[in-house]
Amino acid sequence: MKVTDTSVGTLFDTLSDKLELEWAGNRLGENREIQNIEPDNAKTSLVGHLNLIHPNRIQVLGATEIQYLDRLNENSRRDLVDQLFDGNTDLVIVGNGQAVPADIHQRAEASSIPLITSPRPTAQLVNYLQYYLTNLFAEKITLHGVFMEVFSLGLLLTGDPSVGKSELALELVARGHRLVADDAPEFARTSPDTLNGRCPEVLRDFLEVRGIGVLNVRAMFGDSAIKQSRNLRLILRLVPMNEAQMHTIDRLHGARSTQTILGVEIPEITLPVAPGRNLAVLAEAAARNHTLLLKGFDSAQLFVERQTRFMENNTP
């Protein structure tokens, strides 16, 4: 699923408090759509400082840009303003607390292009807008499972229904870890190799545990038990296994594989579920070990090297 566009009015209502946005007029053009840009064939970019060579859908003007306009002669300035409002622009924002130039205001009204002001530095405006639009337009997918933060690592618990995902999540929360989303976490590809997961608004704070019902984790454990979003780094797949099946698992490296989600490869560990196994401790160990792997520390390789040296030193 991918969002294809959003209105200027929606953007304003979402970011007005954070960026101190104000309309330079009576919400003129608030229904204008900001279209999603496909990076591979885009002739324009989403947001940036005033640029007419590679025009932005949202053009941001600050003190530097307005000073540049003031240095132009009358004809050059008229040509630049004509290009600014030639149809490629969806929104113009004047930042740094600058007054809106009269010709900019006039052309915005004539072409029904939304015009917004802010006292914030233009670099901050560009960063916030770019982050907001990138996340809004990112390709998204909803997966079945429980998304947790365990030792600062984004961990998705998956498996068949009734395998014990929610019970494991509840025990992890009780041990001080944090819940992001239960049942239907939503993941967005925010960069070529990053999936960011968050909880749909309707499910936020809730965890369903069979036999107990729906629990409000925030009310039970406090605000610190909830994490708004996290990047997905590891999938832990819970699979019921008997003793014979468990013996087929590689005892040195474990049951490791990868799963491709929205074009991003995510490491996956298959965790056997069997009587007497403490899944919470195993999940914590998997998260810690994966963090070590990300830092270049491979316990299995270290073990192999140590055994090799031992055998070499003890060979007649």
CATH code for position 299: 3.40.50.300
For 271, residues 6+ apart whose C-beta sits below 8 A from its C-beta are 236, 237, 238, 239, 255, 279, 282, 283, 286
Residues 157 and 274 in one domain: yes
Spatial distance between the Cα atoms of 124 and 93, rounded to a whole number of angstroms: 12
Instruction: Quote the domain boundaries for residue 14.
Output: 5-137
Spatial distance between the Cα atoms of 61 and 148, rounded to a whole number of angstroms: 41
The mean of the pLDDT values for the chain is 90
pLDDT, tens digit, 9 for 90 and up, residues 224-269: 999 999 999 999 999 999 888 888 888 888 899 999 999 999 999 9
Residues 176 and 280 in one domain: yes
Residues 265 and 292 in one domain: yes
Structural domain contains residue 31: yes
Among 111, 77, 4, 84, smallest CA distance to 93 is for 84
Residues 127 and 219 in one domain: no
Instruction: Write down the pTM of the prediction.
Output: 0.74
Residues 249 and 196 in one domain: yes
Q: How many structural domains is the chain composed of?
A: 2
Residues 162 and 254 in one domain: yes
Residues 245 and 288 in one domain: yes
Concatenating the DSSP letter of every residue in 23-88 gives: ESSSSTTTT-EEE---TTT-SSEEEEES-TTTTEEEEEE-HHHHHHHHHS-HHHHHHHHHHHTSSS
Catalytically active residues are 144, 165, 183, 251
121 vs 1, more confident: 121
Structural domain contains residue 102: yes
162 is in an annotated binding site: no
Residues 160 and 97 in one domain: no
CB-side exposure of 133: number of CA atoms within 13 Å?
26
Average pLDDT of the segment spanning 42-54: 78
| CB 235, CB 156: distance < 8 Å | yes
Structural domain contains residue 37: yes
Residue 41: the pLDDT is 45
Assigned token pair, 166:
């929610």
Residues 19 and 122 in one domain: yes
Structural domain contains residue 315: no
pLDDT, tens digit, 9 for 90 and up, residues 144-195: 999 999 999 999 999 999 899 999 999 999 999 999 999 999 999 988 899 9
112 is in an annotated binding site: no
Share of the chain above pLDDT 70, in %: 96
| CB 23, CB 100: distance < 8 Å | no
Residues 244 and 297 in one domain: yes
